[in-house]
């Protein structure tokens, strides 16, 4: 059961941590989400979520965050090992169901980097 949990050690909590990832990470985007992935020295993956006020009121923003956390909790195998990942919701994001969020984030994480 521990594999499906979302513990504090798996979260990016400090603003300094977010800034470092913004500067050094690899950015990928889809229609409704942007992800930034950056290697860390911890060896364990961590998740940070950013949803701005432009995405809607508090109820809508919290729903988006809950959907992203649930996706992370159930699909940890998709996330790169030893990397910090920030998922940002776009400002004009429509109301999405959980399967729609899963489909879009799965496509985003399975997409290969174009170099």
Q: What is the pTM of this model?
A: 0.85
Range of the domain at 60: 2-109
The CATH code of the domain that includes 36 is 3.30.230.10
45 falls within a domain? yes
Cβ contacts of residue 83 below 8 Å, gap of 6+?
Answer: 37, 38, 39, 40, 45
- Residue 39 near residue 20 (C-beta atoms within 8 A): no
35 falls within a domain? yes
81 falls within a domain? yes
29 falls within a domain? yes
- Residue 35 sits at φ, ψ, to 5 deg, of -120, 145
- Residue 29 near residue 48 (C-beta atoms within 8 A): no
101 falls within a domain? yes
115 falls within a domain? no
- Give the Cα-Cα-Cα angle 54, 45, 76 (nearest 5 degrees): 85
pLDDT of residue 4: 63
pLDDT of residue 92: 83
Residue 61 burial (C-beta neighbours within 10 Å; 0-12, 13-18, 19+): middle
83 falls within a domain? yes
Cβ contacts of residue 8 below 8 Å, gap of 6+?
Answer: none
pLDDT of residue 109: 86
What does each of the 115 residues of the chain score in pLDDT, given as a tens digit?
Answer: 456 666 667 788 889 889 999 999 999 999 999 999 998 887 778 889 999 999 889 999 999 999 999 998 888 888 877 889 999 999 888 898 999 999 999 999 888 655 3
Q: How many domains does the chain have?
A: 1
pLDDT of residue 6: 66
34 falls within a domain? yes
């Amino acid at each position: 059961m521990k594999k499906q949990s979302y513990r504090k050690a798996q979260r990016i909590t400090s603003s300094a941590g977010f800034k470092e990832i913004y500067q050094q990470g690899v950015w990928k985007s889809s229609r409704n989400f942007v992800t930034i992935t950056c290697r860390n020295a911890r060896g364990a993956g961590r998740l940070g979520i950013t949803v701005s006020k432009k995405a809607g009121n508090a109820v809508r923003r919290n729903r988006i965050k809950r959907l992203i956390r649930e996706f992370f909790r159930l699909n940890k195998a998709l996330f790169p090992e030893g990397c910090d990942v920030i998922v940002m919701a776009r400002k004009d994001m429509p109301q999405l169901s959980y399967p729609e969020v899963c489909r879009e984030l799965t496509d985003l994480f399975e997409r290969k980097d174009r170099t």
